[in-house]
Amino acid sequence: MVLIDWLILIVPILVLVGTVFYTQKYVKTVKDFLVAGRTGGRYLITSGNGMAGVGLITVVAVSQSYYHAGWAINWWHHGTVIIMTILALSGYVFYRYRETRALTMAQFFEIRYERKYRIFMGIVCFFAGVVNYGIFPAIASNFFICFLDLPLTLCGIPTYPLLIFFFLGGACLISMIGGQIQNMVTDTVQALFCYVMCVVVCVLLLVIFDKAQFHEALCSQEAGKSFINPFDTAKISDFNVFFWLINVFFLITTYGSWQGNQGYNGSAITPHEAKMGNILSTWRTISLNLFNLLFALGGLIIVINAEFKEESAQIFAYLKESCNFAPAVIDQMMLPKALETILPIGFKGMVAAVLFFYMLSTDTTYIHSWGAIFVQDVVMPIYGKKLSPKVHLLMLRCSLAGVAIFAFLFSVFYQQSEYIQMFQMLTGMIFGAGAGIAIIGGLYWSRATKEGAWAGTIVGIVLALCSILLVDARMWAVVRELLLEVFPNNATLLAATDKCPINSAYLSLMNCVCAQITFIVVSLITCKKPFNMAKMLHRGEYQDEEAIKSESAEHIAWYKRLFLGFDEEFTLRDKIISLSVSCWVYGWGLAFLVITTWNALGYLFPNYICMWQDDWWFEFFWINLILQAVLAPITAVWMTFGTFKDLRKMFILLKNRTNNPEDDDDDGFVEKTE
């Protein structure tokens, strides 16, 4: 890093600090701290939430998966995008959740089920969340040590814990000062910088590496381990088609359950704006996803291509000897460090700035989410009565500090041994297995009962904790010995000397299915009277000024609702946006279905149909890459303009409300009802 790189990194951070001091004056109520006073427009929601959802850990995780499986696993993600778009267009989960007006998901659990369940789920969500978040600062610290070539000690203090302290301290301070208002503004400012920087870096990487170099990196693997052909990955044990299918199942059945960004779920001005924010996420992610893709592929070229053989060996030696990283950390940092070695002056600082913003946005959002959940869904329901705004805000800020302290200790003392995505999947299922079906059942099924929710959740938690123990090598050795006493000649057990033969993805799938079956069966047995869904969703006779819709709204056909997202609130502009998303996604979706069917038939009937060769797959990849590169600057300008407009609108709404100070008692407390 030379002076210009440091300036490119530091100047945007100083701008961000300025926004922190400017924004803090708008935080007046608990509602402001938790959901930004519900002032988020669609572009503000999609930009801020998008930055919070990307994270430096996502870039490292994507790089790790490319290091082991290349682009082949990415093919199946085209199918995921189709499903995600249908869910977003239909308003699945999030529209109804916003209609309940709950400030947190566990508050919804109290409204739908009971207070005891809310408290229990608040505890489980908090525990699963902070453990899942615990490795984020560790990965960020390791990343910047190797990417910026930092010494292992600074002023006699080890750099690793020092960076963790600095990162968590800054993120915690931002969240404590202004809560969700502060997070939404800082995340948005970071997104505005990243839209531009990501496009510039992507153009640079497409100039540095030519098509032939991409081809060599993706098409030079042995049979069964292809990095480009998704139908030639039989020897890739973890990141394969079954891993994708399991993730699709989780996507649908646990949609909306993960609460790492729960503040954004309730921050939209209206349910319609929340829905439009989700729809716009398809265009918002173009430039950010392209950056993640080229970041991973650039590093992969350095590690695999023959012309960089010497550089690759030096990178591995640096990570192992100079940084003294453990094998699991070397696996994570190999591609990021490889890319760093070829970045020219100025661009290294730009990439560092993008990744710093990725990290900070996730840290502030997660600290806010888990801290708020502990107070809103554990402390306050146990206390059983409303808190004064002053005490409430103080407790929230103390809780946020507690999350940061736990994350610091966990990152310093926990030793990583699994793939990042596997760790996140397992810890996420502690809460998600039971919560996912409780959310969907609670929002869409009037016969879902509190008994069903309790039963499904307990089954999910017990199985998830057992799974976490099984994937630990020390615990598996004990379990294996016990099983061998019962099945002494079992070939699978005899071969599985180092780890459980069932990986984390399959264990998580079994956990989730068992929890869902339990919820449904117990609810059917215990339901005596259907729940009043209209009252919870403020519909029909329970409508008020916020909920009421235009009486002259046109009737919308079911297929337009499901596949285009249209509803009675859609304007012409909304329909155009939705149609643009639909055309893009369904176009690639059609290609995915046709090409997948072609190759599946070719696999079944090789004498009649020829499966795609690696060169064909590469040409498809290249066309997709170039189209994203063309659209990235267009969507970046669009998102930037819309975000500026919504940011201005947010400050106007907050200013008008704070100039007319009424006592806002919307703090998430639910009165007991008989």
Is the pLDDT assigned to residue 262 strictly greater than 80? no
Q: What whole-number percentage of the chain has pLDDT above 90?
A: 28
Tokens at residue 635, please? Answer: 């969507």
CA distance 654 to 26: 6
pLDDT the model gives residue 616: 94
What pLDDT digit, counting tens, does each position of 238-257 carry?
A: 777 788 888 888 888 888 78
Q: Where are the domains of the chain?
A: 3-255+270-414+557-659, 418-542
Closest CA to 295 of 216, 247, 348: 348
Least confident of 13-27, 129-143, 286-300: 13-27
pLDDT the model gives residue 373: 85
pLDDT the model gives residue 661: 44
Is the pLDDT assigned to residue 659 strictly greater than 60? no
What CATH class does 3-255+270-414+557-659 carry? mainly alpha
**Greater pLDDT, 261 or 462:** 462
Is the pLDDT assigned to residue 155 strictly greater than 90? no
At residue 658 the predicted structure's pLDDT band, cuts being 50, 70 and 90, is low
Q: Tell me the mean pLDDT in the region 77-81.
A: 79
Count Cα atoms within 13 angstroms, Cβ side, for 52: 29
Compute CA 385 distance to the chain's CA centroid, rounded to the nearest angstrom. Answer: 34
Q: Tell me the mean pLDDT in the region 479-490.
A: 85
pLDDT the model gives residue 420: 82
What pLDDT digit, counting tens, does each position of 405-450 carry?
A: 999 998 888 776 677 887 888 888 888 888 899 999 999 999 999 9
Q: What is the rounded average pLDDT for all residues in the chain? A: 85
Fill in the DSSP letter of residue 268.
B
Whether 467 and 476 have beta carbons less than 8 Å apart is answered as no
What pLDDT digit, counting tens, does each position of 88-118 carry?
A: 777 788 788 878 888 777 788 888 998 889 8
Q: Tell me the mean pLDDT in the region 450-470.
A: 90
Query: CA geometry: angle at 332 spanning 309 and 207, to 5°?
Result: 55
- Reported pTM: 0.82
Q: What share of the chain is helix, strand, coil (3-state, %, to 5)?
A: 75, 0, 25
Tokens at residue 269, please? Answer: 């001005």
Q: How many residues does the chain have?
A: 674
